[in-house]
Amino acid sequence: MIQNKIVVRYLDGHLVKGFTNDFLPNKDLFHLIPMDAPPGTKPLDVRISELKAVFFVKEFGGNPGYKDKQEFDPSKPVMGRKIQVTFKDGEIMLGTTQGYQPNRPGFFIVPADAQSNIERCFVVTAATQEVKFI
């Protein structure tokens, strides 16, 4: 079973890093095993309605000093549609999407910056202030 390395950011700002193997974008709930949990720990129930986003990451530590570029590399082809997401907390993400529809609970975005620690992000639509194609 594939375990995804994720960071979940809640609407209240706190985050939890861990692993999931049952996240599905059309489900209201999934399970997360915190990264430092001992073997056999019962997974946490994570409700999409309580989240800002689910970040599928390369490394939990990332590079704290690195700030994602907010531009596309003109030498690389773009897969999907270019999109800018402004969250209610003011954070802005720039990337591409294959399936944004405003009436859905969420959608995936791949960051414009290939050097980002974020491989892809599931954005919870209710946590956004503005979503626009660019």
> Model confidence over 75-130: pLDDT tens digits?
888 889 999 999 999 999 999 999 899 999 999 999 999 999 999 999 999 999 99
Q: What is the pLDDT of residues 24-83, one digit of tens each?
A: 999 999 999 999 999 889 999 999 999 999 999 999 988 888 988 889 988 888 889 999
**Can you say whether residue 62 is alpha, beta or left, with left for phi > 0 and alpha for psi between -120 and 50 degrees?**
left
Give the per-residue pLDDT at 65: 86
> Is the pLDDT confidence value at 19 over 80?
yes
C-alpha angle 77/110/102, rounded to 5°? 110
Give the per-residue pLDDT at 111: 97
Q: Please give the DSSP secondary-structure letter assigned to residue 22.
A: -
Give the per-residue pLDDT at 70: 87
Give the per-residue pLDDT at 1: 63
CB-based contact 30:22 (threshold 8 Å): yes
Q: Which of 119, 124, 123 is nearest to 57 (CA)?
A: 119
Q: What pTM value is reported for the model? A: 0.95
Run of H or E including 94: strand 92-97
